[in-house]
Amino acid sequence: MIPDLVVGLAAIVQYAAAALALRVPRIIRREPAWVFIVAVAFLMAIRRSIVLYRSLSHNTAHPTDLLGECVALAISVLMLVGMARLGPFLMSIVRSRDELRQKTGHLRERVKELNCLFAMADLVSRPEASMEEILQGTVDLVPSGWQYPEITCARVQWGNQAFDTGNFEETPWTQSCDLLVYGERVGCVQVCYLQDKPPCDEGPFLQEERSLINAIAGRLGRIIERRQTEDDKAALQTQLHQAQKMEAVGLLAGGVAHDFNNLLTVIRGNAGRVRGMLAADHKAHEALIVLEQAAQQAAGVTRSLLTFSRGLPVEKKPLDLCAVVEESTRLLRRMIPAAIELDVDVQREPPLWIRADSTQLQQVVLNLAINARDAMPDGGTLRVAVAPAGESDAGELVDSSSSAALHGRLEVTDTGVGVPLEIRERIFEPFFTTKERGQGTGLGLSVVHGIVEDHGGRITVQSQVGVGSTFTIVFPCVRPEPASEEPSTPATITPQGHGELILLAEDDAHTRGIIALTLESLGYRVLQAADGLAVLDICERYRQKLRLFILDLDLPKCSGLECISEIRGRGMTTPVVAITGNVALGLDIPDCETVLLCKPFGMPELASVVWSALGGDARWEARS
Amino acid sequence: MKEAISVLVVDDHAMVRQMLTNRLDEEPDITVVAGVGTADDAVTEAVRLEPSIVLMDIDMPGMLCFDAARTIGTQCPDTRIVFLSAFFHDRYIEQAMAVHAWGYITKSEPEDAVVEAIRRVSTGVAYFSPEVQARIVVDAQGAKLAHPQRSRVSTLSERELEVLRYIARGLTKKGIARTMHLSVNTVNRHTANIMAKLDIHDRVELARFAIREGLAEA
């Protein structure tokens, strides 16, 4: 009985051990060696089952060996314990192996990524490489950085340009990253698998490949930024050199023009003098007139030169760009032949007001139009257009102080011969001309350039030989000036006298001289006195003829107030304009025939006061 | 017989000077007492000859014309200055008014305008164009141009203005120091002040600024 119990127990333990052994292959994933171990465990359990069966069926041919069965039971228990402990141990081994495999895979991808980035850095470091070469080289490198290079294709889009691996086609298995330059999207980098592959972290792609495409896009963005900065710097340097050259030429031209102007003054002056000395019918008259005219024309050339060099004073004020251009085009119609069609396109909304000198602005339009006319000897179309400038046009303005929100664009386009690229940079230089000798001074465009720069604007030219040229000028706009606004200073003094005699008394000779000039210009006759005693003396001598006194109250020897009292004391009711800088003095004015004019005052104001004091209002009313 | 109006002609261009002298000498009531080519000589001759009128070109080498006019005004109170310029420029007129000039004629005006101006100024009447007259304001200090350009130039002292004019003429600091009888350090200090006040930190830009403001001619 006891041996049967031992055999049965050993069989159960061995089955349990075999069951545990069965679990192990799942852990070690179909490892063939383990099949043998499981088989041995099961065979041993079956062996124990057979022994137990025989014992229970009292088969005496095979008596149960108690000692042997006890040993078998002990072995079974040990097997069970061993199997129970072997599972976790194997699990840890398998886990380590998987981790190792994964890390090796990561490392391999990392090496690929680094190789790709290194090759890209190598490409970029070549100073002679153009941006296009860099982008194409990068695209060619991309497949080597991915898991399946043989089925990987790539494309980089940059603006309207695209660079790809040649076999590129968009598939459902695509990885993409935006190309950012200064934070703005300018394109993208795309990597596609041409065949489906087992899913990984991001579709068929690995996490490392996402990092790699991001790194490539980021690096390309920075390269483009750097190249653009370098290009901008180079362009600015070219502009600076050009500006410096123009500045130097401008200064030189200004200096030459100044000396020339003096010489022309001498020529003109002496020609006039000689003409004055000759009899009216002298034969030399005509020649002298021609000489004077030539000098006059030459003075026009020096004037152009001085305008170019900004040596001439200009009067800038807010102007409606459209109105000035329309006015200029009216003049143009007379200057261009019938074979040239004039197309004027002026956009009036929004209003484009610029701060400019109207004469100079007209000169700009006329010079550009004349240039266009000369570029179309066989006829064509001359287009003059005004419109608000786009942001890109306005952005070209060099003048950083120009903070205008709105910019006006003036375009003069012709369908003429065009300007070859090699001379395009020189066309704004003074005396540079492609016209035949005697047909052009070479100052037209340089004057335009000088004027535009002086107005805070910028001029650019686009041209194609045989097709035509477009000159684009961009001006910063100012606030429109209300049409009703009066000019701050009147241009002339309007009220006029009719030879009335005025006694002007002022101790400062210079001020007196200037007031006298104004009064004489207005048509009055003026007697001057430097002090109070002179006033009384002249008053006595011209008593009957004097129509007005203009007296400074602060006169030496006899003050203005004393003079007025004396004049009134002599029975004269002649009106007096009393000038003073001290209003308190004016409070003592003795009569209603005396008006007070307080300093500071302008000449127009003086003219009005004098006119009124002389009864101008009444005179005007009587006349009208 | 009425005494002739004595005139000192000042112009750095000998031919212009000669032409003016010849033209004025044709007038019986005008006598050209001397013709000089620099503002320094103008002061010397004006003090020596005390002419009624000094007819002076604006752009003069050496001591500048406005400074010369101020000196002449101080030393010869009876001498009146009439300026002659190729241009009608606010800044020039403003400066001319500041030194109590009696007239301002542009070279584009007919020669007779010079004769007319001299005659009028000699009788105590100034000679300015109607446009200038309309802008003259009389205040307690005398006559000046209304609405003068409120440019950054107004922040400069007289001395700094003079240094700026010399810079615009392309003189080196040593040259300026020699001309103005100053030390190079003082010129450096003035230049630094000018640059700070005008916020221009480049000599070429300073020259451009001076030309634009009419402190020197291109």
Q: What is the per-residue pLDDT for A47?
A: 83
Residue A140: pLDDT over 70: yes
For the stretch A239-258, pLDDT in tens is 667 666 666 776 677 777 77
Give dist(CA B139, CA A146) in Å, integer: 87
pLDDT at A492: 47
Mean pLDDT of all residues in A578-588: 68
Helix, strand or coil, per DSSP, at residue A427? coil
What is the predicted pLDDT for the residue at A446? 78
Nearest to A262 among B16, B100, B146 (CB): B16
Q: Which residues of A touch B120 (CB under 8 A)?
A: 517
B49-89 residue pLDDT tens: 999 999 998 876 554 788 889 999 899 888 999 998 877 77
For A258, the closest of B121, B139, B218 (CB atoms) is B218
For residue A37, pLDDT over 60 is answered with: yes
- CATH code linked to domain B152-212: 1.10.10.10
Whether residue B218 and residue A270 make contact (CB cut-off 8 A), yes or no, is no
**Residues B203-213, mean pLDDT to the nearest whole number:** 74
What integer pLDDT is reported at residue A622 of this predicted model?
Answer: 38
Q: B65-75 and B39-49 are packed helices; what angle lies between their axes, rounded to 10 degrees?
A: 20
Weakest mean pLDDT among A204-208, A292-296, A399-403, B179-183: A399-403
The third-level CATH classification (topology) of the domain covering B5-145 is Rossmann fold (3.40.50)
Domain A501-623 is found in CATH 3.40.50.720: no
- Give the Cα separation of A474 and A495 in Å (integer): 43
If you ran DSSP here, which 8-state letter would residue A481 be given?
Answer: P
Contacts of A254 in chain B (CB under 8 A): 211, 217-218
Tell me how far apart the alpha carbons of residues A449 and A459 are, in angstroms, rounded to a whole number.
7
Is the pLDDT confidence value at A623 over 50? Answer: no
| Predicted ipTM beyond 0.85 | no
User: Across-strand partners of A161?
Assistant: A158
Contact A581 B208 (CB under 8 A): no
How far does the CA of residue B141 sit from the closest CA of chain A (Å)? 9
Confidence of residue A620 (pLDDT cuts 50, 70, 90): very low
Q: Which of A133, A139, A119 is nearest to A190 (CA)?
A: A139
Q: How far apart are CA A537 and CA B161, in angstroms?
A: 46
How many Cα atoms are found within 13 Å in the side-chain-facing hemisphere of A559? 9
Q: What is the pLDDT of residue A312?
A: 55
Mean pLDDT of A552-578: 84
- DSSP secondary structure string for all residues of A66-106: HHHHHHHHHHHHHHHHHHHHHHHHHHHHHHHHHHHHHHHHH
Q: Environment class of residue A616 by beta-carbon count within 10 Å: exposed (0-12), middle (13-18) or buried (19+)?
A: middle
What lies within 8 Å, CB to CB, of A546 at 6+ separation is A501, A502, A503, A527, A538, A539, A572, A574
Hey, which residues 504-523 in chain A have their CB within 8 Å of chain B?
508-518, 520-521
Least confidently predicted of A330-334, A391-395, A561-565, B2-6 = A391-395
Residue A259 has pLDDT above 60, yes or no: yes
Q: Quote the crossing angle between the two packed helices A358-375 and A444-454, to the nearest 10°.
A: 140
Q: What is the model's pLDDT at position A159?
A: 84
Give the rounded distance of the alpha carbon of A526 from its chain centre: 60
Q: Which 8-state DSSP code applies to residue A267? A: H
Question: Does the pLDDT at position A557 exceed 80?
Answer: yes
Which among A314, A561, A171 is positioned nearest to B89, based on CA atoms? A314
What pLDDT does residue A414 have? 92
Residue A609 near residue A577 (C-beta atoms within 8 A):
yes
What would be the CATH architecture of the domain defined by A317-478? Answer: 2-Layer Sandwich (3.30)
Q: How far apart are CA A65 and CA A80, in angstroms?
A: 22
Cis peptide before A350 (omega within 30 of 0): yes
Q: Given this model, what pLDDT does residue B112 score?
A: 81
Assigned fold of A129-264: Beta-Lactamase (3.30.450)
Do B138 and A273 make contact, defined as CB atoms within 8 angstroms? no
Q: Do A266 and B138 touch (CB under 8 A)?
A: no
Instruction: Please state, in angstroms and as integers, the Cα–Cα distance from residue A81 to each residue in A15, A45, A190, following that order.
Output: 13, 15, 57
Phi/psi for B194 (5° steps) reads: -60, -45
Chain B residues touching residue A488 (CB < 8 angstroms): 147
Q: Average pLDDT over chain A, rounded to whole?
A: 79
Domain boundaries, chain A: 2-103, 129-264, 265-308, 317-478, 501-623
At residue A404, the pLDDT reads 58
Contacts 24+ apart (CB under 8 A), A390-396: A393/A472, A393/A474, A394/A474, A394/A476, A396/A458, A396/A460, A396/A474
Q: What confidence score (pLDDT) does residue A392 get?
A: 64
pLDDT in tens, A51-101: 878 777 765 555 567 788 788 888 888 888 887 887 778 778 888 988 998
Predicted pLDDT of residue B145: 79
Dihedral sign of CA atoms B133, B137, B139, B145 in order: negative
| Residue A391: predicted pLDDT | 65
Alpha carbon separation from A520 to A501, A526, A551 (Å, rounded):
10, 7, 17
Least confident of A305-319, A357-371, A380-394, A549-563: A305-319
Task: Quick: pLDDT tens for A435-488.
Answer: 654 455 566 787 788 788 878 888 888 888 888 899 999 988 887 655 433 334
Of B19, B89, B134, the CB nearest to A603: B134
Asked whether A445 and A372 are in contact (CB, 8 A), the reply is no
The strand pairing partners of A175, in sequence order, are A191
Q: Which of B97, B7, B117, B90 is nearest to B53 (CA)?
A: B7
What percent of chain B has a predicted confidence (pLDDT) above 70? 90
Domain map (residue ranges) of chain B: 5-145, 152-212
